[in-house]
């Protein structure tokens, strides 16, 4: 089902998503993160150097994506695993982008108490020049979080 | 004491290993496997683990089938406690893991305090 027809459920999901990002950055990365706003956007289209994507299906369908610069991802992953940013391998960055998306979605699901929704294995992209797009007619919300080392964007089409 | 971490994410394996040390457990060895099958291959030759921490979603062999394989495995491994570490908080999935023989469940994200509270009974 689309949650677009249920404003109450949509609010629960979007609030859950916002809280999940803040909690994850605080609890695991021990980073200060400031919620800098949310807005409706026309397309689910991500172009930063790093993207993590998770598809939701079951009782409801949708897609959540996180994106940031590779420098910010390197800093976040380094804080989470306790290694210097220079010690991280490409595998760590790919898995780090995937885990960010995974934990954000898992947190949203738990906080919104939506029950029978499956999360796909995450997809991660780390590169210089690309666009990751999901063509959908679902409404897309973009959340922006300001961190000391850069901006983290989270897209949700639900 | 020795712990086995089964997770396809190199980052999550590092996070769990770091969390275990930060939680204050005296761990001599942390071994890692990238999926359930790798975990079973490792357990075929090395059975001396106090605890296994396993992800749910993994390629080749997922966490649920890994738990079933361990529980129906050799006597030396079938009683090793297994705690699932996953984002899946749904009651049905947790229930399925426990029914298959898992001994506990930790949700990501977690803190060293969470690990300590959840794992103390296995790592005394």
What are the pLDDT digits (tens) for A48-91? 899 999 999 988 899 999 999 999 999 999 998 888 999 999 99
Give whole-number Cα distances, B106 to B16, B23, B55, B78, in Å: 11, 14, 10, 21
pTM above 0.90, yes or no: no
Comparing alpha-carbon positions, the chain A residue that sits nearest to B12 is A99
Which chain B positions have a beta carbon within 8 Å of A105's beta carbon? Answer: 87
Q: With a cut of 70, say whether residue B49 has pLDDT above it.
A: yes
- Min distance A61 CA to chain B CA atoms (Å): 16
Contact with chain B for residue A103, Cβ under 8 A: yes
> Contact, A126 vs A70, CB < 8 A?
yes
Of A92, A106, A109, the CB nearest to B11: A92
Q: Give the C-alpha separation, B72 to B77, whole Å.
A: 9
Q: Give the C-alpha separation, A157 to A58, whole Å.
A: 15
Contact with chain B for residue A66, Cβ under 8 A: no
Maximum separation of any 2 CA atoms in chain A, in Å? 47
Chain segment B70-123, per-residue pLDDT in tens: 999 999 999 999 999 887 555 667 788 899 999 999 988 788 888 999 999 998
> Pick from A106, A117, A85: which is nearest to A27 by CA?
A106
Q: Give the C-alpha separation, A25 to A156, whole Å.
A: 18
What percentage of chain B has pLDDT greater than the value 90? 66
B68-105 burial code (b ≥16 CB/10 A, e <16)? bbbeebeeebeebbbbbbbbbbbeebbebbeebbbbbb
The residue to which tokens 């399925």 are assigned: B96
- Min distance B41 CA to chain A CA atoms (Å): 23
Burial class (CB in 10 A: 0-12, 13-18, 19+), A38: middle
Mutate to test the interface with B, among A77, A81, A117 (most CBs of B within 10 A): A81
Of B10, B92, B109, the CB nearest to A24: B109
Q: Is the peptide bond before B109 cis (omega within 30 degrees of 0)?
A: yes
Maximum separation of any 2 CA atoms in chain B, in Å? 35
């Amino acid at each position: 089902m689309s949650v677009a027809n249920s404003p109450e459920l949509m609010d629960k999901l979007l609030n859950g998503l916002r809280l999940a990002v803040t909690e994850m950055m605080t609890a695991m990365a021990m980073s200060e993160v400031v919620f800098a706003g949310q807005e409706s956007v026309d397309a689910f289209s991500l172009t930063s150097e790093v993207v993590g994507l998770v598809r939701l299906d079951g009782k409801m369908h949708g897609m959540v994506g996180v994106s940031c610069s590779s420098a910010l991802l390197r800093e976040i992953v380094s804080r989470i695993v306790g290694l210097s940013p220079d010690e991280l391998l490409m595998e760590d960055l790919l898995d780090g982008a995937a885990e960010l998306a995974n934990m954000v979605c898992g947190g949203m699901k738990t906080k919104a108490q939506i029950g029978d929704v499956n999360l796909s294995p995450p997809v991660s992209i780390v590169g210089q020049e690309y666009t990751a797009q999901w063509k959908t007619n679902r409404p897309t919300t973009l959340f922006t979080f300001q961190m000391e080392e850069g901006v983290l964007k989270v897209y949700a089409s639900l | 004491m020795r712990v086995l971490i089964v997770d396809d994410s190199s980052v999550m394996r590092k996070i769990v290993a770091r969390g275990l040390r930060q939680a204050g457990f005296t761990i001599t060895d942390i071994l890692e496997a990238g999926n359930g099958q790798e975990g079973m291959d490792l357990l075929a030759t090395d059975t001396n683990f106090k605890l296994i921490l396993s992800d749910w979603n993994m390629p080749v062999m997922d966490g649920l089938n890994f738990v079933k394989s361990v529980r129906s495995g050799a006597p030396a491994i079938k009683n090793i406690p297994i705690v699932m570490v996953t984002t899946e908080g749904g009651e049905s999935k947790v229930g399925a893991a426990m029914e298959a023989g898992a001994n506990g469940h930790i949700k990501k994200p977690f803190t060293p305090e969470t690990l300590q509270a959840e794992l103390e009974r296995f790592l005394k």
